[in-house]
Structure 1
Amino acid sequence: MTFYTDKQTLEDLNLLGKFKSNSVFNIFNKVKTAGGERLLEGFFRQPLTDPAAINARCATFKRYQQMVIQLPFTRAAFDRAEAYLDTTVPANYLLVAASVWRKKALSGITRDQRYEELYNGLLATVTLLAQLSAFCAQVKEDDEDIKLISRLLSDNRLRDLKQVSTLTVTDVIRFDHLLRGKMRREMSVLLATVHKVDVYIAVSDVARERAFGYAEARPVQEHIADIKGLRHPALRDAVANDMHLDAGNNLLFLTGANMAGKSTFMKAYGIAIYLAHMGFPVAAERMVFSVREGLYTSINVPDNLQMGYSHFYAEVQRVKTVASAVSGGAKLIVIFDELFKGTNVKDAYDATLAVAAAFSAYRSCLYIISTHIIEVGEALPKVNTRFAYLPTVMEGAVPRYTYRLAEGITADRHGMMIIEQEGLLALLG
């Protein structure tokens, strides 16, 4: 089973993006190798749906978090060694020797730099292998990946390599043939394993530094999402909230004023669900969830001028996409923020009420739907719906937002008070 999401959801939750300083990817992107970065991106693009696999990956991150270790090289040094090992040489020793002597000769005659590049790449690799050997010897915990690195480095063919501090031309020939020829497969496995360890260390360091917790995955049939102390991972001092949905109460109907924190809360929930399916740490104290088949959000739906879509029509199309998946039997997490903003209040009321009631009848999905139209909540069926709001506390004429989830439907109606406080009408007066 594949975990399905789409571009709109990824953008709503700001999950991906190496060059976005505030993306969730970049929160965890503290790796020291290019291969580790590629592996990390692969984890982000392919969430898991097998509870055992999710829990196993969580256990790995927990173990590394307790180990508190660091890889013994800089990214630049590893890149030099990896660039060297990524190229091949002939399996025949004489052909390697002829190639090296030719490079050496040309370096003295024509200032050809290929021998120098070969020498520096080999020396960087020799240094890296020595550093990794020392690193493995220092790690006391029983970790399969680190044990694999240690076994590869214990190969008797590498014995002479460990004694080298400078390299003669004969050394360059012998070790180049060994590392990039005879042991090419072993070196490839070594690099791939270092990439994995790099990701494990980076992600567990982030979890430790930011006090993230770990989620426990349950079978899909349980239809549960229970989170204690949920917060947005990008906010250092975020207010934490508890969140619980199950098949008996599968819809959270969320109200609250603008700036009260509804969108941030919903994004925090969506991000936690996504990271939990990756087996990654989550910004929460504790989380138990049943795996889902996908995640859909509708938070920042753009219009589409090329296709002639208004904002309202784009919203309708988005809801239609989700409805098709839900009615087809998919077990999803669905997050709708301020449905049907692009139409008049009467139509928005009717549509929000109808859509919320219709979706909630599909008990194998879990939903959060927010709105400003609090009258919808009063008309919704109460049998499988949880009502919550984010309060606004007025201190005189100044609103203060607690960001603390409360049970019920908001009675806050402070829009005109804020407009008057900001002097908007006076400016036009």
Structure 2
Amino acid sequence: MMQIHDLKLKEDVLPFFNFTNNTYSEEQLLYLLTTPPVTEAEVRDRTTVIKGMLANWAVMENFTYRKLDLLEVHTFMVAIAGTGLNKKKLQSWLRLKTSETERQQLQSKLVQLIQLLNGLQAQYLNRLNSAVFPEQFKSDLVRTVSFLNSLNLDKLANQVLEHRFRVRDMIKFSEQLSTLNQDEVSAFWDYFFTFEAYWSVAKATLVHGFTFPGFSDDNFSIGDFYHPIVKSPVRNTLLLEEDKNVLLLTGPNMSGKSTLLKAIGLCVYLAHVGFTVPASTCTVPYFNTIAIAINLNDNLRDGYSHFMAEIENLRKVVRSTENSQKCFAVFDEIFRGTNVDDALDITQTTINGLTKIKGSYFLISTHLLQLEEQLHSSSYESIKEYFIECVLENETPRFTYKLKEGWSQLKIGRILFEQVGLSELLGK
């Protein structure tokens, strides 16, 4: 189960990874970002592809092409493949001989195709060290290069350069393109768009200074993490021990709890799609389920109130840990949809139950400050308490956005209420 809607991957995260030059590659990048592989081995393969791109960066650093050329070549190849124009060789030859307009149009399309694909092959694909890529990606690369070799692009490019690309050459090349298998052409373009999507992630890694994550069953540590959408972000570090699998986060309103939880959730999620992460270090267990509940709203279509949406989300999370499956879940201000007494009671029950689910990790933020005394009077040894620092200077809150161990009992609601003059207004 992947419940990651609240990470806003397309709106907030995709732009940081998107250096693609056409809509098809961008769609493939979005697919990679929003579709976690099924197994840990497949995740590692994705990461290896990105590392392979970086290992070939001397070749790939200036990877580029004219966007319009690519889109037109793609449309032309898809349209002509499998049409079998070789059956109309005489008619084609006669028409091209007698119609200068048709001859020029076809020549323009063929020359555009030859120059674009030959340039991509000669400048980039032929120069790659394929040994650094995982087997499937390397196999697809070899197949792609073989496909381009079958078109004799280098020879044709020389003919174009020397102005020797004549009518008979145009007809011959058109026939060759028309007899290409449509599935083979589709496979070529699918690979190219995937290739560019991976290149885009590699470039983002260098541009933003993202780092490669790792998996470890007994290690949950993320160093100097941040959310990339925040300007001038404060970086924090989180370490959770295997026997302390529940993080309880406190801090006043506007201290940055939701943003911090999103940043942690994003690092964990990106690790599971094989991407690099906004942190200096990141090692987490491999989770079967990731559930991020930051902005859990009422589900009007199903008739759920906010509280029932929280209950249903918690039920799904707990059920996902059956059969020794590992889960990472975030609950922002859990049970804020019900009254304080109920929330306090069921939060304790929830925390107590989650601490027993070993191998899974749960991050919970709360405004229920009464929990501190009750938790300390109980045997909650599996809880890690953190708070986001906020200091009062001359009765004015200053938010540092720093994550610290311990518990915050700071209340600033009344202070802000007074500062904006509501007491005076309401007193009138």
TM-score (norm: length of structure 1): 0.86
> Is residue 2:122 matched to residue 1:134?
yes
Q: Tell me: CA distance 1:33–1:287, structure 2 relative to 1, closer, same or farther (3 Å).
A: same
Q: Displacement of 1:332 after TM fit?
A: 0.7
Partner amino acid, structure 2, of 1:74: R
Structure 2 unaligned regions, length at least 5: 133-137
1:225, 1:290 within 8 Å by CA — same for their partners in 2?
yes
Contact persistence 1:297–1:335 (CA under 8 A): yes
8 Å CA contact 2:114, 2:153 repeated in 1: no
Contact 1:97 1:173 in 2 (8 A): no
> Counterpart of 2:24 in structure 1: which amino acid?
G
Match in the other structure for 1:111: none
Contact 1:223–1:365 (CA under 8 A) maintained in structure 2:
no
SS of match in other structure, 1:340: coil
- Across the aligned residues of Structure 1 and Structure 2, the Cα RMSD in angstroms comes to 2.8
TM-score (norm 2): 0.86
- SS in structure 1 opposite 2:111? helix
Task: Give the C-alpha shift of residue 147 in structure 1.
Answer: 6.0
What pairs up with 1:60-139 in 2 under 5 angstroms?
A: 60-66=49-55, 67=57, 69-87=61-79, 88-91=81-84, 93-95=86-88, 98=91, 118-136=106-124, 139=127
Paired residues of 1:212 and 1:285 also in contact (CA < 8 A):
yes
Q: Residue 46 of structure 1 aligns with which residue?
A: 35
Matched, 1:344 2:339: yes
Instruction: Please state whether the residue corresponding to 1:403 is helix, strand or coil.
Output: strand
* Compared CA separation, residues 14 and 159, structure 1 to 2 (3 A): closer
Cα distance, 1:364 vs structure 2: 2.3
Amino acid at match of 1:129: L
Give 1:45 deviation, angstroms: 3.1
Q: Indicate how the Cα distance of structure 1 residues 185 and 318 shifts in structure 2: closer, same or farther if over 3 A, else same.
A: closer
Alignment-mate amino acid for residue 115 of structure 2: T
Q: Which moved more, 1:143-152 or 1:56-65?
A: 143-152
Counterpart selection for 1:5 from 2, 7, 12: 2
**Inter-partner Cα distance in structure 2 for 1:340 and 1:244:** 25
- Deviation track 1:254-291 (CA, whole Å, cap 9, x = no partner) reads 11111111101111111111110111010111111221
Distance 1:125 1:404, change over 3 A: same
- Per-residue Cα deviation, 1:92-117 (whole angstroms, up to 9, x for no partner): 62325535755886886xxxxx8766
- Cα distance in 1 for partners of 2:49, 2:119 equals 23
Q: Distance in 2 between matches of 1:175 and 1:420?
A: 79
> What is the CA–CA distance in structure 1 between the aligned matches of 2:85 and 2:36, rounded to whole Å?
44
Distance 1:292 1:97, change over 3 A: farther
Cα 1:253–1:104 change in 2 (3 A) is: farther
Deviation at 1:123, TM superposition (A): 2.4
**Alignment partners' CA distance in 2, 1:394 and 1:120:** 70
Superposition pairs of residues 339-378 of structure 1, within 5 angstroms? 339-378=334-373
Provide the secondary structure at the position in 2 that maps to 1:386.
Answer: strand
The separation in 2 between residues aligned to 1:29 and 1:261, in whole angstroms, is 27
Return the alpha-carbon distance in structure 1 between the equivalents of residues 307 and 106 of structure 2. 61
Which secondary structure state, in structure 1, belongs to the residue aligned with residue 206 of structure 2?
helix
Partner of 2:135: none
**Which residue of 2 is the match for residue 160 of structure 1?**
155
The one-letter code sitting in structure 2 at the alignment partner of 1:298 is A
1:186 deviates by 5.7
| Equivalent residue in structure 2 for 1:267, among 230, 242, 262 | 262
Q: By how many angstroms is 1:396 displaced?
A: 1.2
Contact 1:229–1:286 under 8 Å retained in 2: yes
Give the Cα–Cα distance (whole angstroms) in 1 for the partners of residues 303 and 85 of structure 2: 64
Q: CA deviation at 1:292?
A: 0.8
Contact (CA 8 Å) 1:228, 1:287: kept in 2 or not?
A: yes
Alignment-derived partner of residue 426 in structure 1: 424
Q: For the residues of structure 2 that align with 1:265 and 1:396, how far apart are their CA atoms?
A: 27
2:316 alignment partner, one of 316, 321, 330: 321
Supply the distance in 1 between the matched residues of 2:87 and 2:302 (Cα, whole angstroms).
64
| Structure 1 contact 89–181 (Cα < 8 Å) conserved | yes
- Which one-letter code corresponds to 1:210 in the other structure? H
Cα distance, 1:358 vs structure 2: 1.1
Contact 2:85 2:174 in 1 (8 A): no
Q: Counterparts of 1:242-253 in structure 2 under 5 Å?
A: 242-253=237-248
Matched, 1:400 2:389: no
Q: Is the 8 A contact 2:289 2:320 kept in 1?
A: no
Structure 1 unmatched ranges of 5 or more: 109-113
By how many angstroms is 1:231 displaced? 0.9
Aligned length: 410
Letter in 2 for 1:13: L
In the alignment, the residues of structure 2 paired with residue 191 and residue 285 of structure 1 have an alpha-carbon distance, to the nearest angstrom, of: 35
Change beyond 3 A, Cα 1:139–1:247: same
Q: Distance in 2 between matches of 1:208 and 1:405?
A: 27
Preserved contact between residue 217 and residue 290 of structure 1 (Cα < 8 Å): yes
- Residue identity over aligned pairs, in percent, reads 27
Checking the alignment, whether the CA contact within 8 Å between 2:78 and 2:185 is kept in structure 1 is no
Q: Which amino acid aligns with 1:289?
A: V
Q: Does 1:205 align with 2:203?
A: yes
